[in-house]
């Protein structure tokens, strides 16, 4: 869970109940817990959020005052599901103490974790940068802005203001992984190569292949190198199509990140004069 961002400065007011009326604490003194750091003249009148246990202070001409703590919590349980090869839906549990949320997605993890400073659009690494989400929103569906067969990084941020925010864990999702061809008709003894339509990425560990019946054999059953292929060999005639499934696994992932199927029909060879003509 991400901690509040203490980088921004905001105008400060002296907290109620502190100051001259209660004796206060002259800058540089340590007679109270509110004054453990000397005032810096460049900080006068400004205050950043206290974060990660490092206190910050604001100053008047005579007093040091502790800055407020950024108390937002991060969104959790972020999950992304493909709607089509170019569109996806993200769902999550909102964080707390915020007034709005933003969602970011792109092919460059570093840019996404910087909240896509260049924005989103064609030619940019970020495809999604929507800052208009309510504090209680739990899902978001993108436009047709994703590239098929591509690994994207997604992140949701809870905002209290420009100086106080908390970000979800960044998650990975594959926009699509269609098998090509999507169907094939084979005769006993013939073969067909099937390819998983994904772009080359260091995030993709392997693609596992599985056939729904023994009427075809597949080799390899798992491919860990691009372009992620398997060869199906027809063994026996089928009364109904055999389903071939390709499942994409990302590096370090336990569950499949994307799966797709193809249909295979196996026929017996025709008469000898058709087979050898």
Residue 38 DSSP one-character state: -
Instruction: Report the 10 Å Cβ neighbour count for 53.
Output: 7
HSE of 164, CA atoms in CB hemisphere, 13 A:
21
Residue 22: per-residue pLDDT:
33
Q: Would you state the structure tokens that stand for residue 275, as one six-digit string?
A: 């087979």
Tokens linked to 36 = 């453990």
| 76-174 and 179-275: identical CATH topology | yes
Low-confidence residues in the chain, pLDDT < 70: 1-68, 271-277
Query: Could you report the per-residue pLDDT of 149-172, keeping only the tens digit for each?
Result: 999 999 999 998 877 899 999 999
Q: Closest by alpha carbon to 19, among 27, 8, 10?
A: 27
Per-residue model confidence (pLDDT) at position 273: 56
Q: Which CATH architecture has domain 76-174?
A: Sandwich (2.60)
Q: What is the dihedral of CA 74, 115, 82, 135, to 10 degrees?
A: 40
Task: Give the CA distances from residue 63 to residues 8, 33, 34, 248, in Å, rounded to whole numbers and listed in that order.
Answer: 22, 13, 10, 60
pTM of the model: 0.77
* Distance from the first to the final alpha carbon of the chain: 68
Say if residues 191 and 271 touch (Cβ distance below 8 Å): no
**Class of CATH domain 179-275:** mainly beta
Q: Provide the residue ranges of all domains of the chain, joining segments of one domain with +.
A: 1-70, 76-174, 179-275
Task: Determine the Cα–Cα distance for residues 182 and 228; give it in Å rounded to an integer.
Answer: 15
Alpha-carbon distance of 114 to 131, in angstroms, equals 14
Torsion of Cα atoms, 216 then 220 then 226 then 229, to 10°: -10
- Token pair listed for 37: 């750091």
Three-state SS sequence of 63-117 = EEEECCECCCCCCEEEEEEEEECCEEEEEEECCCCCCEEEEEEECCHHHHHCCCC
DSSP string, 122-157: TTSSEEEEEEEEETT--EEE--S-PPTT-EEEEEEE
Q: Are 194 and 179 in contact (CB under 8 A)?
A: yes
Return mean pLDDT, the chain. Answer: 82
DSSP track, 196-238: E-----TTEEEEEEEESSTTEEEE-SEE-STT-EEEEEE-S--
- State residue 57's pLDDT score: 57
């Amino acid at each position: 869970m991400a901690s509040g961002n203490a980088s921004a400065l905001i105008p400060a007011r002296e907290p109620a109940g502190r100051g001259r009326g209660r004796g206060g604490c002259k800058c540089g003194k340590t007679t109270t817990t509110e004054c453990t750091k000397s005032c810096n003249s460049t900080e006068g009148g400004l205050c950043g959020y206290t974060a990660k246990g490092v206190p910050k202070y604001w100053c008047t001409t005579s007093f040091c005052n502790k800055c407020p703590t950024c108390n937002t919590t991060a969104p959790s349980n972020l999950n992304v599901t493909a709607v089509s090869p170019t569109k996806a839906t993200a769902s999550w549990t909102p964080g707390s103490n915020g007034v709005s949320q933003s969602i970011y997605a792109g092919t460059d993890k570093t840019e996404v974790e910087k909240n896509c400073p260049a924005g989103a659009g064609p030619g940019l690494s970020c495809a999604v940068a929507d800052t208009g989400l309510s504090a209680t929103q739990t899902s978001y569906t993108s436009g047709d802005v994703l590239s098929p067969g591509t690994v994207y990084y997604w992140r949701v941020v809870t905002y209290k203001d420009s100086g106080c925010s908390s970000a979800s864990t960044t998650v990975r999702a594959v926009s699509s992984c269609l098998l090509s061809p999507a169907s094939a008709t084979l005769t006993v003894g013939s073969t067909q190569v099937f390819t998983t339509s994904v772009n080359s990425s260091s995030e993709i560990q392997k693609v596992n292949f599985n056939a729904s019946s023994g009427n075809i054999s597949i080799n390899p059953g798992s491919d860990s190198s691009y372009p992620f292929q398997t060869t199906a060999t027809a063994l026996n005639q089928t009364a109904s199509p055999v389903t071939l499934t390709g499942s994409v696994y990302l590096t370090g992932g336990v569950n499949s990140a994307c799966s797709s199927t193809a249909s295979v029909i196996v026929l017996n060879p025709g008469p000898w004069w058709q087979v050898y003509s």
